[in-house]
Amino acid sequence: MSAVEDSTWVRNFLPGWYAPEEKAQFARPNETIKNTSPRSHAELYQSLNGAEEIRVMELKPGNWDDGLCASLHHCSMESEIGNEIPGRRYWKKRPMEYTAISYAWGELVFDGTIDCDGHAQVIKKTLEVALRHFRHPQDSILIWVDQICINQGNEAEKTQQVLLMGKMYGLAMDTVAWLGEADSKTPGAFGILGEIAIRCPGGLTEAQLPPGDSSLWTDLISLLCRPWFGRLWIIQEVVLSENLWIKCGPHVLHWDVVSNGCGRLVDVGIIG
């Protein structure tokens, strides 16, 4: 029996972000995920069956300094929406509930590690740090991340999975864009975007903004210059993701807050 099947609850990414009445959809009893199949320890990457199958990663709970441990599970992307209204889907056939991770690969230096189904896998250190930030101390979370869920040594599989990329982000319960670890400028940047969303829901005037020489503007520009914002793939990921969050170290904002805040700053000529 797989670790997922053994678990009473398998929670999706950071359910605490959502209102209490919505949390039920992020914590499902094990019968909801019985269609997953455990990976054999004899070979980490078993062949995918059919054009609609993907792997999701169960990231096991742990504290910050604990080694990363995970299991891979195969699941189908087949789904059917019965009805859809703004902000909510009603499924006839529901896909696996998982969080998709969006991030910048950066240099191809694999200096991080994760234990995946008993196999020591080398990964980029940036991804290792991201997973440590995402990991829950008590509960497993289900994640799709290309570097681990796609067999990077199989070119045919990589080509086939790229064709599913839009669907992977479109059907994810939520997507988290990882910008990297926080620095001294991150709190100010997240703070000003949050303040704009709270104080200026209907529009923005220069009178409502910090002075032009405020360090907050330098902080914000520094955030927007992070590599994630320069990726071509983010256009697809942003457009298709139903519920996108931006995360930098421990700081989190919904994409709507970031995009609306930046849009208002463009309108008044602060950024362009």
pLDDT at site 132: 93
Query: Is 6 a residue whose pLDDT tops 70?
Result: no
How does residue 204 score in pLDDT terms, banded at 50, 70 and 90? low
Q: DSSP secondary structure string, 145-208? A: -HHHHS-TT-HHHHHHHHHTHHHHHHHSSEEEEE--S--TTHHHHHHHHHHHHHH-TT---GGG
The proportion of the chain whose per-residue pLDDT surpasses 90, expressed as a percent, equals 32
CA 243 to CA 232: how far, in whole Å? 19
Contacts of 205 (CB under 8 A, 6+ apart): 268
**pLDDT tens-digit profile of 116-134?**
998 888 999 999 999 999 9
pLDDT at site 233: 77
How does residue 211 score in pLDDT terms, banded at 50, 70 and 90? confident
**pLDDT tens-digit profile of 69-110?**
999 988 888 766 666 666 566 556 666 788 999 998 877 778
**pLDDT tens-digit profile of 221-269?**
999 999 999 887 778 888 888 889 999 998 989 998 898 888 888 777 7
Query: Is 189 a residue whose pLDDT tops 70?
Result: yes
Where are the chain's structural domains? 3-178, 186-267
pLDDT at site 16: 37
CA 90 to CA 84: how far, in whole Å? 6
Q: DSSP secondary structure string, 105-130? A: --S----EEEEETTEEEEE-HHHHHH
How does residue 4 score in pLDDT terms, banded at 50, 70 and 90? very low
pLDDT at site 185: 95
